[in-house]
Structure 1
Amino acid sequence: MTPTTLASLTPLPVVVPLAGAVLSPLLARWSLRLPVIVSVATTAASAAILCLFVPTVLHGKVVSHYFGHWGPSHGSVLGIAFAVDAWGLIFALTTSVVGAVLLLYTLSELGHLGPRELGGYAGLFQLLLAALVAAGLTADIFNLFVWFEVAGLASYGLTGFFLERPIAVEAAFKILVLTTIAGFLILVGIALLYAEHGALGFGALRHSLAVQVSSSDRIALGLLVAGFATKAGLMPFHGWLPDAHTAAPGPVSALFSGLMVNLGLLAIVRLLYQVFPLHATHGLGLLTCLGVVSALLGALLALAQDDLKRVLAYDTVSQMGVLAVGFGTGSPAGTAGATYHLLNHALFKSLLFLVAGAIVHRTGVTKLSQLGGLWRSTPSLTIAFIVGTLSIAGAPPFNGYVSLGLIHEGVATTGEHVVYGVMLLAQVLTIAALARAVWLGFLRPRQSAYENEAKARPGMLTALAALAALCLAFGVLGEAALSRLMAPAAAGLLHPHGYVKSLLAPPVARVSPVVVHWSYWERKELAIVVVTVLLGICLVPLYLRRDEPHAVTALRRLHSGSVNDYAAYLSLGAILVVAGFALR
């Protein structure tokens, strides 16, 4: 396939699920299951089209395409471009594959809905997936904002899908308010950049910013980082996340936590690495600060929750912090590890949320204090949850072992010993929170049976088995995935010249390679895994036997559930981030 032909295919991974989103409500009039079946097919087709780019992109090339052939002319760019690099391809392909698995799960959990409801659900689900794929491929900052808004619109509908539940309407309102504030920050940041440089494309902006980064540019970057950090769920911009994850159906919670939050981090990483020159800002340092706070406090809050979905939601805040710290290192190992962990998080967090959804479907119970004995009645769900827990814990042979080890190596190479220590503490708390959930929900004996206990359906078990198998595969094949997938992605971020060149002189450009070394049997990392897992497990009985620490109680009180409080936290965080960039 010629470069020009390949470049012309770049819109299709977005167009196909968009077409499915339009067709799903119409198809529901003829068949109840047809909308979801078509949704699975369109999402899988999007993944198949993206696979066509793999041989070219993962060999160090970037493929770009300008819509309407409005390409660069005499150094000016007017058109909107899609560019497929390794970083964006991994994000988009992960979204499509995991999205197809989540839709397969939907056939079992939500198959009881009426045609109108199921058609609308399938349409919104595909709309959100299309927005995420487009965000991974777009090379224009305003177009990125458009897909941010499209994802937001779909998320409002999916969060409040069950309108008869007050908690769902309240959560939808919170995400609406907070992401609207975030969108306003992003739009103002884009306006400042356009006023200063007269450009919106990533390539043209990078070319202009390479000459000089003004104070206005740094303020714009601060606004953009604050806005996208809200979508990523980084503290203190995370107020919408726990409620939205708790109120939404199981597959939607998995979609939000495993995929949608990654959009915010994708945008921040694009801006810091590929648009703004790293030497002109100290953005990676600020990203590390946000990551450290999120990783530690998110894990602490996860340990303190009684609702299973809220445990997983706050763990998502913590994992976003881990990712932010990895990208904040600016090293090959840390960047490759964070890219790997982004994929891994989509797998193991989707797995855990699907298990939580299956538990609600089976028992109607979500609180850990009311659960117990699930390992006897549903061993398949127990095994799936333990696989997800071990993956997050970084235990070999599961996928988190490789990505966390690389992030730890990246932090160690920067000499940030305090950051390293905090990350290990956050890991211990994360393990303790999930081990507590395993004990209370699955292993603890239960005297009485659940009321109206339903069986796990084949579609549920198939989706859980697929995600668990992928968690194992990306752990066993970690070294191969690192060299063939993650190292090219890290190269595109650390050496953005090829990405910029593909946008200013399309359709194909080459990226300078980066070599990332990793040994699966690294003694130091194996020792860290053993120690953190043992400390996390030992912390569980201590936490269960004692009263809640005052620091945890105070932290929980700050999370009042009031949208006014969360908007205030977001605004304060935005002020601090903008000041951090402006007062460089």
Structure 2
Amino acid sequence: MSTAALLPMAVVLPLTAAALAPLLARLDRRLPLLAGLLALAGAGAVLLRALPDVLDGRPVGTRLGGQAGVIAIVFTADPLGTLFALVTALVGAILLVYTLSELGGLGGRELGGYAALCLLLLGALIGSALTADLFNLFVWFEVAALASYGLTGFFLERPIALEAAFKILVLTTVASFGVFVGTGMLYARHGALNLGILHDSLGVATGVADLVALALLIGGYATKAGLVPFHTWLPDAHTAAPGPVSALFSGLMVNLGIVVLARLGYQVFPSSQVPIMGLLMVLGLVSALVGAALALRQDDLKRLLSYDTVSQMGVITVGLASGTASGAAGGVYHLLNHALFKSLLFLCAGAIVHRTGLTNLSDMGGLARRMPVVAVAFLVGVASIAGVPPLNGYASLSLIHHGLETTHQTIPAVLLAVAQAVTVAALARAAWLAFFARKDPPEFTERPRPGMVTGFLSLAACCVALGVLSRPVVEHAMKPAAGALVHGDLYASAARGKVTPIPAPDVTLHYLAPSSLLLTLGCLLAGLVLARVSGRVVDAPPLRRLAALHNGSVNDYAALAAAGTLAVALAVLT
């Protein structure tokens, strides 16, 4: 069977395992998670089979539900989608292994439901990465949202879980309504849902209705990505969910929105006629700064990591919005890196909560003596986000900054460096208070289980490997991914069924460039100094007013998201 014919199996296998999970749980409570591992392994095998052709500039595509016309389910595996789908399968498998240890004490019914929801979400993420159809992107958005409601409120006895699930329900429903209406408007005007056909049609003429549709799509998918001001659901959901679920949300689910925004900016709407790159740049910079500043204020560890996710989504968006091949390559690279190091950090936070019952940093201290494996894993994750060489974050951040520097986008480069310094401060403060502050750690006898240690070591090893091997990763993976973005017309051709080789752009990682090393050193030093004086900085009036906007009211959060969508509409229409 051809690779193209097998491509849908990358989605079918996780969804089938999700459907079987509750039934398998009746036989043995561990069977649903084991079936999920087999399904993700099969999905990974299908994606690996397509990977050589995809990275060689030849997207793999297949059409379901119709062989002619424009109404059909189209799967097109390009470098961006295939790499994200592969990382989803890999990280998803690691999180399931971790779950076998941390939540293994649950009953069969609970583990069956948990596995079904996780696999449903993972299948939706893989489907969103591979689809080349705007309506099917909406379908995967809804499937992912449905799974996220159940996973957030999984422990029903916790009021905070039910409240967080309700907030996600309200805000993602508002977002999905915008996505649905925007998709319908484009279909009504152009008679097509295929991304390639829309690309060609919008290139000929872009009207007011198209711009309104774009604003609705950006508002909807920016909500899923957790970009400011659409981010308010994210901290509550991540705080309430179990550690592996928080890792799944922050490491993978939010990336769905970024992938779609990248496709809209490069592969659907003509940037020469629509100011989409400038708009994404503003959203990215605001998110990077606001997320980092709010992370610095947090005492709850998981909430701190949640706001850092907002900041990192902003960093990725800035790279993609730079409009350069280096920036696009760095954005995709950081997207994959974030899936690894943020999943690692949330697993560490989940392990602390699970073993000590503590959530606030002010109550922790000295945990490095009792949890050395967790401490080392957490430090690897922090160093990766901080861009410390030779870990993976250094290479991706260097590419993003190089893209900004070569095009003389000085203000975005400076603001991104400020956000990076504040991020270093927030995470360094968290690491110190949790693991090294002079306090007597709480007494507990439970030792980390084998599956948990496997999860920590696997993700930490991936962070190291993607950093040490950054040159071949950039040469053989990130350059093709950037090519599929900057040559959006060629991706559009592949989405229509006519595969044209996509050339890789000229992207070079100057690993030991003095500017990159000095920038990294400067951000590290500034961040450490800021962490030292953070107690005085976080009470500054601007930060207090910013924090006051996050008052927990779902009504206010929905109004903020609606105002953000209106602002986006005004920006694209003027």
Whether the aligned pair in 1 keeps the contact of 2:244 and 2:350 (CA below 8 Å) is yes
2:481 equivalent among 484, 489, 493: 489
Whole-angstrom distance in 2 between the partners of 1:199 and 1:466: 43
Q: Does 1:513 align with 2:511?
A: no
Q: Does 1:206 align with 2:199?
A: yes
Whether the aligned pair in 2 keeps the contact of 1:235 and 1:294 (CA below 8 Å) is yes
Worse-matched range after superposition: 326-335 or 205-214? 205-214
Whether the aligned pair in 1 keeps the contact of 2:265 and 2:271 (CA below 8 Å) is yes
TM-score, structure 1 normalization: 0.97
Unaligned runs of 5+ in 2: none
CA deviation profile, 1:17-66 (whole Å, cap 9, x unmatched) = 00100111100001111111111221122112110011110000111100
Whole-angstrom distance in 2 between the partners of 1:544 and 1:560: 21
Alignment RMSD: 1.1
Q: Which residue of 2 aligns with 1:54?
A: 51
In the TM superposition, residue 459 of structure 1 has moved relative to its aligned partner by 0.5
2:98 equivalent among 98, 105, 114: 105
CA deviation profile, 1:356-409 (whole Å, cap 9, x unmatched) = 011111111111010010111111111100000000000100000000001111
Worse-matched range after superposition: 493-502 or 568-577? 493-502
Whole-angstrom distance in 2 between the partners of 1:122 and 1:358: 19
Q: Which residue of 1 aligns with 2:570?
A: 579
Q: How does 1:225-304 map to 2 (within 5 A)?
A: 225-304=218-297
| Gap change, CA 1:546 and 1:84, over 3 Å in 2 | closer
Whole-angstrom distance in 2 between the partners of 1:125 and 1:55: 28
Q: Does 1:463 align with 2:459?
A: no
CA deviation profile, 1:88-130 (whole Å, cap 9, x unmatched) = 1011111111110011100011101111000000000000000
In the TM superposition, residue 518 of structure 1 has moved relative to its aligned partner by 1.4
Q: Which residue of 2 aligns with 1:116?
A: 109
Whole-angstrom distance in 1 between the partners of 2:397 and 2:468: 14
Whole-angstrom distance in 2 between the partners of 1:451 and 1:121: 30
Whether the aligned pair in 2 keeps the contact of 1:498 and 1:512 (CA below 8 Å) is no
Q: Which residue of 2 aligns with 1:40?
A: 37
Identical columns (%):
54
Question: Aligned letter for 1:34?
Answer: L
Secondary structure of the equivalent of 1:61? Answer: coil
Secondary structure of the equivalent of 2:62? Answer: strand
Q: How does 1:115-514 map to 2 (within 5 A)?
A: 115-447=108-440, 449-506=441-498, 508-514=499-505
Question: Aligned letter for 1:152?
Answer: A
Whether the aligned pair in 1 keeps the contact of 2:538 and 2:544 (CA below 8 Å) is no
In the TM superposition, residue 498 of structure 1 has moved relative to its aligned partner by 2.3
In the TM superposition, residue 451 of structure 1 has moved relative to its aligned partner by 4.3
Whether the aligned pair in 1 keeps the contact of 2:199 and 2:489 (CA below 8 Å) is no
In the TM superposition, residue 464 of structure 1 has moved relative to its aligned partner by 0.6
In the TM superposition, residue 546 of structure 1 has moved relative to its aligned partner by 6.5
Secondary structure of the equivalent of 1:279? Answer: coil
Question: Aligned letter for 1:86?
Answer: P
CA deviation profile, 1:238-274 (whole Å, cap 9, x unmatched) = 0100000000000000000000000011111111110
Whole-angstrom distance in 2 between the partners of 1:53 and 1:25: 31
Whether the aligned pair in 2 keeps the contact of 1:361 and 1:454 (CA below 8 Å) is no
Whole-angstrom distance in 1 between the partners of 2:497 and 2:151: 40
Question: Aligned letter for 2:45?
Answer: A
Worse-matched range after superposition: 252-261 or 411-420? 411-420
| Gap change, CA 1:547 and 1:279, over 3 Å in 2 | closer
CA deviation profile, 1:204-260 (whole Å, cap 9, x unmatched) = 111211211111111111110111000000000001000000000000000000000
CA deviation profile, 1:500-549 (whole Å, cap 9, x unmatched) = 2223234x431122120112111111111111111111111211366722
Unaligned runs of 5+ in 1: none
Q: Does 1:537 align with 2:528?
A: yes
Whether the aligned pair in 1 keeps the contact of 2:61 and 2:497 (CA below 8 Å) is no
Secondary structure of the equivalent of 1:278? Answer: coil
Whole-angstrom distance in 2 between the partners of 1:547 and 1:404: 26
Whole-angstrom distance in 1 between the partners of 2:495 and 2:401: 34
Whether the aligned pair in 2 keeps the contact of 1:348 and 1:467 (CA below 8 Å) is yes
In the TM superposition, residue 453 of structure 1 has moved relative to its aligned partner by 4.4
Whole-angstrom distance in 1 between the partners of 2:271 and 2:111: 46
Whether the aligned pair in 1 keeps the contact of 2:296 and 2:538 (CA below 8 Å) is no
Whether the aligned pair in 2 keeps the contact of 1:189 and 1:221 (CA below 8 Å) is yes
Secondary structure of the equivalent of 1:509? Answer: coil
Whether the aligned pair in 2 keeps the contact of 1:496 and 1:511 (CA below 8 Å) is no
Question: Aligned letter for 1:538?
Answer: V
Secondary structure of the equivalent of 1:135? Answer: helix
Whole-angstrom distance in 2 between the partners of 1:454 and 1:305: 28
Whole-angstrom distance in 2 between the partners of 1:559 and 1:431: 23
Q: Which residue of 1 aligns with 2:516?
A: 525
| Gap change, CA 1:35 and 1:307, over 3 Å in 2 | same
Whole-angstrom distance in 1 between the partners of 2:471 and 2:486: 20
Q: Does 1:569 align with 2:560?
A: yes
Whole-angstrom distance in 2 between the partners of 1:91 and 1:533: 29
Whole-angstrom distance in 1 between the partners of 2:374 and 2:489: 47
Worse-matched range after superposition: 518-527 or 335-344? 518-527
Whole-angstrom distance in 2 between the partners of 1:545 and 1:80: 55
Q: Does 1:67 align with 2:64?
A: yes
| Gap change, CA 1:177 and 1:453, over 3 Å in 2 | farther
| Gap change, CA 1:330 and 1:71, over 3 Å in 2 | farther
Whole-angstrom distance in 2 between the partners of 1:547 and 1:83: 46
Question: Aligned letter for 1:414?
Answer: T
- Give the count of matched residue pairs: 574
Whole-angstrom distance in 2 between the partners of 1:41 and 1:399: 28
CA deviation profile, 1:257-314 (whole Å, cap 9, x unmatched) = 0000000111111111101112111100000000010000100000000000001000
In the TM superposition, residue 566 of structure 1 has moved relative to its aligned partner by 0.5
Q: Which residue of 2 aligns with 1:553?
A: 544
Secondary structure of the equivalent of 2:389? Answer: coil
Whether the aligned pair in 2 keeps the contact of 1:140 and 1:201 (CA below 8 Å) is yes
Question: Aligned letter for 2:545?
Answer: A
Secondary structure of the equivalent of 1:529? Answer: helix
In the TM superposition, residue 416 of structure 1 has moved relative to its aligned partner by 2.0
Whether the aligned pair in 2 keeps the contact of 1:94 and 1:346 (CA below 8 Å) is yes
Question: Aligned letter for 1:80?
Answer: I
Question: Aligned letter for 2:555?
Answer: N
Whole-angstrom distance in 1 between the partners of 2:388 and 2:125: 30
Secondary structure of the equivalent of 2:105? Answer: coil
In the TM superposition, residue 71 of structure 1 has moved relative to its aligned partner by 3.1
